[in-house]
Chain A
């Protein structure tokens, strides 16, 4: 019979991790404001061309996120490992990932220099995030048909597009529910998606869990990058509801199997 106090179940410098997590959240907000009010305004004068400015803004965000991921790592919030990370650096990738935690997108953009992404439309009204999402020209998730069109154009310009086909963070233990937007983007832009399986154990920053409920032991994030070449036959497939269904079905099967492993 284990009669130790519940406190000793909190391992891996629990309280320090909690403090670091609070600091990280504060830094993220301050970083958003710094980008908006300090780093982005000069871009307007330096780069007249909107497309060039967007690219520079994305590069800045990429470096900021890389530093932020490093900060959370050295402060012991998590450990992490990327397998096949160099594939993410190639231009024009449609990056599809499952979505276990709040910081998945931060991890992914920290590895992709020119990343466009589909973000919650409400972030365009969030004072901390507004500067970044508008200057970088990210795509708001309000109108499905427009998202697909803008993402396809973005891919054709050689930008990478990051998308979580579930549309929102996964609920642990429940089967994946994939939306078909990702399939339509792949069909319209005629690109083979790059698939990223994200595993986080024990889970952290899940849906419906407040930030201060951190796991009892230190989480490990694992990112596995795979090509969809063998999975999806896009070459001669036109855009149709049936093709989109078939691709979505295969994506779901892929991620379900990967995450069960």
Chain B
């Protein structure tokens, strides 16, 4: 179910709406997490935990250090899914 970017994006959008009550319409690959979606570093910690459940893979917080946009999160998920 997490095979391509679009599927990952739609899954991620659902999570962001559910966890942080962001407006689904605001979520795009270019959306900036803190500026556009008001997701701060504490939220990011919670998001990492949730993504672990989703992917069943461990995501190192360091991987998330450089994450700024929704697109970056999608890439990070894609990367861990590719690691077998």
Q: Which chain A residues have a beta carbon within 8 Å of chain B's beta carbons?
A: 144-145, 148, 179-181, 184, 240-242, 244-245
Q: Convert B33-69 into 0s and 1s, putting 1 for each residue whose CB lies closer than 8 angstroms to a CB of A.
A: 0000000111101100000000000000000000000
Lowest 3 CB-CB distances: which A-B pairs, in order?
Answer: A144-B41, A144-B42, A241-B43
Nearest B residue to A147, CB-CB:
B42
Instruction: Classify chain B: how many residues form its interface, as a range.
Output: under 10
Whether A148 and B42, one on each chain, are in contact in the complex, defined by CB atoms closer than 8 angstroms, is: yes
Whether B21 is near chain A, meaning CB under 8 Å from some CB there, is yes
Nearest A residue to B19, CB-CB:
A241
CB distance from B8 to the nearest CB of A (A): 21
Chain B residues contacting A240 (CB-CB under 8 Å) are: 46
Nearest B residue to A244, CB-CB:
B42
Chain B residues contacting A245 (CB-CB under 8 Å) are: 20-21
Whether A145 and B42, one on each chain, are in contact in the complex, defined by CB atoms closer than 8 angstroms, is: yes
A46 to B44, CA, bound (A): 44
Chain A residues contacting B20 (CB-CB under 8 Å) are: 241-242, 245
Among A179, A181, A241, max chain B CB count under 10 A is at A241
A245 to B19, CA, bound (A): 11
Whether B42 and A181, one on each chain, are in contact in the complex, defined by CB atoms closer than 8 angstroms, is: yes
Contact pick for A242, options B19, B40, B41, CB 8 Å: B19
Whether A242 and B42, one on each chain, are in contact in the complex, defined by CB atoms closer than 8 angstroms, is: no
